[in-house]
Chain A
Amino acid sequence: MNKVEAEKNLFRLVSVRKYYPIVKSHALRDISLTIERGQIVGITGPSGSGKSTLLYLLSGLITPTAGTIFFQEKHLARIRNRGRYRRENIGFVFQDFYLYPGFTVLQNVLFPCLYRVIVPAATRQKAEGLLDELNMHHKRDAPVEVLSAGERQRVCIARALLNDPQCILADEPTGNLDSHNGQVILELLKKINTQRQTTVILVTHEERVSRYAHRIIRLNDGKVDPG
């Protein structure tokens, strides 16, 4: 691979396999693919095809049983501080939002930085700016319990963007939303991708994602479906 190609790739997977011994299931079988910087990549496929496993492998939360994942041509399994890797490079958006009840919208956006003894004022300003950008600033002091599903997902996206990640990993981000809100969220992710050049990797069942994605990876039974 030449240098230009290497710089283009955010992720490169070489013969990646993932086996869950407890349930004796091969989630991924010999996956080799690259994901370029600045793209929106949709990962689709039926339930149990290994979509989410692939997403979490890219996050470094789990490691492959065999094969290698490279992040910016660095061996992901050899990155010792994977918390830091996620903090600096990855933003997560979940289907179930996973906002912390009892805390306000702003506090939830600040969660990725809350492990610090003192959250810098600049981070707080940035969180407010993100809420502003996502039209949620007027609700910054509201408890997350009172938000609608669409608003919760926007807070979740603001939280994912707090550390200026290179990549957003979104696991069924529209799964709990109605059609309208689902479209709003997809457009929002598209906007983020365009304006910030953030790579977005979406796991989804939705067919309409093809309208927003630069590339669709179809998985079937743990393998990339060439069709």
Chain B
Amino acid sequence: MNLALFLLKDIFRKKLRVLLTIFGIGIGVCVCIVMLGVGESIKHSFKDVYGKRQIDIVVQESDQLSILLSRVDAAAAGQIRAITGIEDAGSVLLYIHKLKKSAVPVFGWEPQTFLFDAVELTQGRRPVAGKKEAMVGAVLMRSLEKDQEKQITIKGQAFEVVGVFKSMSPFEQSAVVLSLSDLQAVLREEGKASFVNVKLKPGYRAEAGTDSVLKEIERVMPSISAMRADAFVAEKTKFIVMGEQFSVLVSVITIIAVALGLANTMVTSSFEKRKFLSILLALGWPKTAIALVFICESLIVALIGGALGIFLGFRGTAYIFSMTSIQAFVPELSLAFILKIVGMLLSGALFAGLVPAWTTLNSNPVEVIRSE
């Protein structure tokens, strides 16, 4: 037996109490993860659409808040391509289609543009304009295969699925991609696009280069608004950020409640163990080792509870997405995000361990030993 084994054995001597504490911490962490995780996942999904596909600039209708309502001339992409510093530009028409109970994004992509390069075809081929063909993301394909569907009907028109693609963006993994002109025809919006995605030449990706291109686009087409992709994402996810601030506040309160609950358990545990720990002092244990008993107990319980909470939180976020019709968003737990939660939890646990350690070490061991 060594110290670690002693600590573990000691912690689980009161199994029910420890398990209830662990479960309580798990629920608290789960709530934090779900609250922060939903916003985080949506934000990441949006970001990935742009960041991972090397889209540097997004051009949309001026003063239009909703990307779905934004309309620009699809031919604008041609004009933009002519501007110095631009490698490619592609018009995109976006429509949200109700497929059974889910909301599925449908993209109309301008053929022969870089838009198609960022997705990897895993089956079949790209859709050809005018042939009523579509390609779908891998996640959506799995759902279609379950129902043995090979066609997608949009506004009464059937599109044959001719290709399946994998995308770095979770948003696109559940999307349908048509040729731009086909979606324009279905929506009866010939010549229109929701926005234009722009890819810059490598030499223009620095801030100064991008700014000069933005100015040039707005000079050539004064009726449209051109934004850096990251600014565009930030604007479109502004509502998430506001919600996230609220979530952070609630999460901090939850973690404080969790820490207080844990501190309560630790104080109860310290009352039970005070005599024994005083005996350990008499047997020559260093004070730091006594403090370590409390701190390790608190940290171990918090870590087990935290791991349970992270697992439940991840499943909970996935469940929430599955309950809503937003198939495009997938729960994502970045390392930084997990570390943030774990950091908050461990700080709380440290506090919860230090309080009884301090109380015990500052009490008179002889009084404790001789007390009934």
Contacts and interface: CB of A to CB of B under 8 A. Distances in A.
Interface string B276-292: 10011111111101001
Contacts of B369: 94, 98
Given A61-B365, A100-B276, A159 B1 contact: no
Interface stretch (A1-9, A83-91, A131-139): A83-91
A61 B4 contact: no
A114 B1 contact: yes
A193 to B, nearest CB: 20
Interface residues of A, number: 32
B284 A117 contact: no
A81 B281 CA distance: 12
Contact of B285 (A52, A85, A100, A115): A115
Interface stretch (A28-36, A67-75, A105-113, A184-192): A105-113
Contact of B281 (A83, A84, A163): A83
A118 interface: yes
A119 interface: yes
Contacts of A117: 2-4
Contacts of A119: 1-2
B75 interface: no
Contacts, number: 74
B360 to A, nearest CB: 14
Max chain A CB contacts within 10 Å: which of B10, B13, B284, B369? B284
Interface residues of B, number: 26
A83 B276 contact: no
Contacts of A56: 366
A98 B275 contact: yes
Interface string B259-289: 0000000000000000110011111111101
B286 A114 contact: no
A92 interface: yes
B13 A110 contact: no
Contacts of A98: 275-276, 279, 369
B370 A61 contact: no
A118 B6 CA distance: 11
Given A61-B365, A110-B1, A115 B275 contact: no
Given A62-B364, A94-B369, A103-B9, A115 B3 contact: yes
Nearest to A59: B282
A183 to B, nearest CB: 25
B12 to A, nearest CB: 9
Given A94-B279, A98-B276, A102-B13, A88 B284 contact: yes
**In the complex, the 6 A-B pairs of residues with the closest C-beta atoms, listed nearest first:** A87-B284, A115-B289, A86-B284, A83-B286, A112-B283, A98-B279
Interface of A: 52-53, 56, 59, 61-62, 81, 83-88, 90, 92, 94, 98, 100, 102-103, 107, 110-112, 114-119, 159, 163
19 contacts: A52-B366, A52-B370, A59-B282, A83-B281, A83-B285, A83-B286, A84-B286, A86-B284, A87-B283, A87-B284, A92-B282, A107-B6, A114-B1, A114-B2, A114-B6, A115-B292, A117-B3, A119-B1, A163-B284
Given A111-B283, A115-B292, 5 more contacts: A81-B286, A83-B281, A112-B284, A114-B1, A115-B3
